[in-house]
Structure 1
């Protein structure tokens, strides 16, 4: 396996991608989107990124919990990294709608 030096993502470009995708979602699905699944398999961190060992056992995640966590956050400094994970849970489910 090749040595990995990391992936650098420009925040402005990422924002443009989010804007494009949210605009497309609104145009194709409307102002509200219904997710019909709630529970999903989740792989634990940091083992999820170690592909040199057997995969870890999945845990169970819940979309309604991820959404509630995002809605209830008041102190962004305390939870910002977890918020990106919760948002990722929802984005993956939205991507599976297509």
Structure 2
């Protein structure tokens, strides 16, 4: 593998991508979307990114739990970073609708 210096993402561009994707989702699926799966396999952090080692043991995640956590997060300062992980769970499931 080649040396990696990281990926820099402009948050304004990220916002534009989210807006474009949500707009597309609304235009193609309507104002609400039903996800028919709930449980999914997950890999623990930080091992998920260490591809030079054998894959870590899978864990199980739950979309309804990730979505509920996003709605329950009253103290955004303490959970906001992990909320991106929960949102990622939901976004991945939405991406698999296609």
**TM-score, normalised on structure 1?**
0.99
Give the CA RMSD over aligned residues.
0.4
Displacement over 2 Å in runs of 4+: none
Matches within 5 A, 1:1-98: 1-98=1-98
* Unaligned runs of at least 5 residues, structure 2: none
Aligned-pair distance for 1:81? Answer: 1.2
Provide the TM-score with structure 2 as the length reference: 0.99
1:97 is paired with a residue whose SS is coil
Equivalent-residue separation in structure 2 for 1:7 and 1:76 (angstroms):
25
Question: How many residues of Structure 1 are paired with residues of Structure 2 in the alignment?
Answer: 98
